[in-house]
Amino acid sequence: MADLGYIAIVLAMASALYAAAACLWGQRRGEPQLVASGRNAVFAAGGLLTLAVLLLVYSFLVHDFQIRYVAENSSRHMPTLYLITSLWGGHAGSLLFWTWILSMFATAVTYLYRDRHPALLPYTSAVLSIAQSFFLILLVFLANPFEKLPFIPGDGLGLNPLLQNLGMAIHPPNLYLGYVGVSVPWAFAMAALLSGKLDAGWIRATRRWTLLAWLFLSLGVTLGGQWAYVELGWGGYWGWDPVENSSFLPWLTGTAFLHSVIVTERRGMLKVWNMLLIILTYNLAIFGAFVTRSGIIDSVHSFTESSIGPAFLAYIALSLIGSLLLLFRRWDQLRGDHQLEAILSKEAAFLLNNLLFLGATFAIFWGNIFPILSEAVRGVKVTVGAPFFNQVSAPIFLAILITMGLGMLIAWRRQTISSLVRSLRGPVSAGIVAAIVLWLMGVRLPPALLGLSTCVFVGAVTVREFYQGTLARHRLTGEPYSVALRKLIARNQPRYGGYIVHLGVILAAAGIIGSQAYQQEAQAVLGPGQAMQIGGYRLVFQGFSELRNENLQLIRANLDVYNDQGRYLGRAEPAKELHFVRPDQPMTEADIFRAIGEPRTLFLEDLYLILVAASPEGTATLRAFINPLVNWIWMGALILIAGTAVAAWPEASEARVRVPRGAPQPAGSPTRF
């Protein structure tokens, strides 16, 4: 099995290298047969990598411990689901998984567009194959997941218990889909540079791919936060850990890119800027993989430290320099004669948005690498943690929120100050009223007050966009409001899908502000029958219960929860879990208590309970948190998914008028976001 898997990887490497060479050479020399052969090699690499992944999964399922990777990342007693997810539990396997996803994207793009974009596609396939070749070279020479042990152990070491969680089963694939998905627009951009077809064709071709990659990045980041919240048991969801930050960076530049391409579509501006953004996004995605894999920045996430860091760094340097050289070669052709009718215009607002997103990216990137810089410059390794990131990035994110609101109000080309002031009146009033109400409700911290009322302001702008559009349709056509709203969205899905995403972001932002500013915390050591108090809840400890199976031992603290009127709400069971394969690493199983009879636990705050320690004498050390509005973050993510789906869904008009395969794209056909 191990030999077969390794052969599959070696052959996939050969296929990818051939595909890159054949597509490039064939297109340059005008030899369609060579291009077709290169295309087949892309499919072959995809097939071989699929085989390799299936073989590794099979090896996990049959406990083939002769394979080092299987022995180090699984054990006989693990449930089937986690045996499968062990595929990406360590570094060689996650590299294989990453490469496989990339090969699937390359195969899909090469197949789906085989008759379209004839000038771009061979180059796109070539660029994707070059990227794939890099990872395959790593797999073949530095991180072979099929490496054999000189002996066959009786059992494996098991997967890190922290990773044995449903969130962890879906968080990495999501993030990888996002990271790798970014390769597609990047490859199309490089193809545009290589072929000299520098119109917006590559943007149109990759619109849905970009949205898909962005969606997966968003989900990856959110699910990572959710996993940390539920599984790590420290009461928070975002620790500004270097790996978390690295997953956030391509999301930030990707968001800037999504906005800047709108300006290109509408006004033909910012072509160089788009290229720079997608190059940056791609390389930040690889940087994210590099940080996770190299362990260069100490982090709780570096489960998978390895010695392949230098190879990653070399690839980032090569792809960055290569992409930039290609861009400089076409610089003069891309530079348009930009004109702006008025400084106060949507174009300018989009540029401001881009500046702020890049500012946030730089701030976080800078904080991420500062410990290494400090060590190099001063010989002192400093820590850059949450206090730094919160204080530096909070004002930038506040500015992004405000720009989001203003940007939606300002018109393309020109906006007069008086009409902007007129349209600002309603939303600003909503923000001011919200600030007063929040003040009266006891929200007195200036950053929270400012942040939350800004959320209300931006929310009001967004809702007004829907309201005014629906009202106008209703007056014009007499349609009922619900029909008018549906048709309004259907007529311009990218725009209104984007606005729905904005609503999700606003909700999540409010959740982040609320939970950061107003978290409450209490800790107590309780004997049976004793109680502790936090934020209007009374928790009575009723002793421990224990559960034991072949894999683990679970100790639960039984807590009766009462509200401030003394009404019984239910039982909470925070626990400690000991996996026998990793006895040195007891796990904290937090209980996020919810009671249907107490709506605030459903919508407004999480009562988050942790069993810190259980003493042999029967006392429990308990830590309780009130985390306000955390739920809003997850709800915001759901709305964001819905909005992205609306924006990416094929439009009704698009479905009716299908352009036949091979027919040239109509010039200037709009691609809207």
Partner 1 sequence: MRVQSLGRRAALGGVLLVLIGGLGWASTAAAQEDDLEQQAIQIEESLNCPLCEGFTLHECPLLICDQMRAVIRQKLAAGASREEIVASFVALYGEEVVNAPLLGEGFNWSAWLLPFLALAGGAAWLAYVLRDWHRRRGAIAELESVSARPPEEYIRRAEEELGEID
Chain contacts with partner 1 (rule: CB under 8 A): 234, 239, 241, 298-300, 337-343, 348, 351-352, 355-356, 358-359, 362-363, 366-367, 370, 374, 377-378, 380-388, 390-392, 394-396, 398-399, 445-447, 521, 612-613
Which pairs with CB-CB distance under 8 Å and at least 24 residues apart come from 111-114?
111/43, 113/205, 114/39
In this structure, are residues 197 and 119 in contact, taking their beta carbons and an 8 Å threshold?
Answer: yes
In angstroms, the CA 281 to CA 257 distance is 8
Nearest CB to partner 1, comparing residues 521 and 546: 521
Nearest CB to partner 1, comparing residues 126 and 384: 384
Closest distance of CB 94 from partner 1, Å: 20
Nearest CB to partner 1, comparing residues 261 and 517: 517
Nearest CB to partner 1, comparing residues 522 and 645: 522
Nearest CB to partner 1, comparing residues 329 and 338: 338
Closest distance of CB 610 from partner 1, Å: 10
String of DSSP letters for 634-659: HHHHHHHHHHHHHHHSPPHHHHHSPP
Q: Residue 150 CB: number of other CB atoms within 10 A?
A: 6
Angle at the Cα of 303 (from 301 to 307), degrees rounded to 5? 110
String of DSSP letters for 586-650: PEEE-EEE--TT-HHHHHTEEEEEEEEEE-TTS-EEEEEEEEETHHHHHHHHHHHHHHHHHHHSP
Closest distance of CB 341 from partner 1, Å: 6
Nearest CB to partner 1, comparing residues 72 and 244: 244
Amino acid type, 179 = Y
Closest distance of CB 458 from partner 1, Å: 18
String of DSSP letters for 420-467: HHHHHHHHHHHHHHHHHHHHHTT---HHHHHHHHHHHHHHHHHHHHHH
Tokens found for residue 463: 């809702």
Angle at the Cα of 490 (from 486 to 496), degrees rounded to 5? 90
Query: Residue 201 contacts by C-beta under 8 Å, 6 or more apart in sequence?
Result: 117, 120, 192, 665
Nearest CB to partner 1, comparing residues 446 and 566: 446
CA nearest neighbour of 297 among 280, 282, 312 = 312
Nearest CB to partner 1, comparing residues 390 and 477: 390
Closest distance of CB 371 from partner 1, Å: 9
Amino acid type, 332 = D
For residue 163, give the DSSP letter: G
Nearest CB to partner 1, comparing residues 356 and 501: 356
Closest distance of CB 78 from partner 1, Å: 26
CA nearest neighbour of 361 among 299, 300, 292, 285 = 285
Q: Residue 11 CB: number of other CB atoms within 10 A?
A: 18
In angstroms, the CA 359 to CA 365 distance is 10
In angstroms, the CA 622 to CA 21 distance is 62
In angstroms, the CA 357 to CA 369 distance is 18
> Three-state SS for 131?
helix
Closest distance of CB 421 from partner 1, Å: 18
Nearest CB to partner 1, comparing residues 234 and 634: 234
In angstroms, the CA 529 to CA 526 distance is 8
Closest distance of CB 607 from partner 1, Å: 18
In this structure, are residues 247 and 224 in contact, taking their beta carbons and an 8 Å threshold?
Answer: yes
Amino acid type, 205 = A
Nearest CB to partner 1, comparing residues 241 and 589: 241
Closest distance of CB 406 from partner 1, Å: 14
Closest distance of CB 641 from partner 1, Å: 30
Q: Residue 27 CB: number of other CB atoms within 10 A?
A: 24
Which parts of 492-586 are beta strand (E)? 520-526, 531-534, 537-548, 552-563, 568-572, 575-579
Tokens found for residue 390: 């919160």
Closest distance of CB 36 from partner 1, Å: 45
Q: How far is CA 602 from the centre of its chain?
A: 25
> Three-state SS for 370?
helix
Closest distance of CB 367 from partner 1, Å: 7
Q: How far is CA 359 from the centre of its chain?
A: 19
Q: Which residue has the tokens 């693990």?
A: 78
Nearest CB to partner 1, comparing residues 378 and 661: 378
Closest distance of CB 378 from partner 1, Å: 6
Query: Residue 104 contacts by C-beta under 8 Å, 6 or more apart in sequence?
Result: 46, 50
Closest distance of CB 453 from partner 1, Å: 15
Q: Residue 74 CB: number of other CB atoms within 10 A?
A: 30
In angstroms, the CA 529 to CA 545 distance is 15
| H-helix segments, 113-229 | 121-141, 166-181, 183-195, 201-227
Closest distance of CB 29 from partner 1, Å: 41
Nearest CB to partner 1, comparing residues 38 and 295: 295
Nearest CB to partner 1, comparing residues 47 and 586: 586
Nearest CB to partner 1, comparing residues 284 and 646: 284
Closest distance of CB 442 from partner 1, Å: 13
Query: Residue 450 contacts by C-beta under 8 Å, 6 or more apart in sequence?
Result: 398, 435
Nearest CB to partner 1, comparing residues 178 and 514: 514
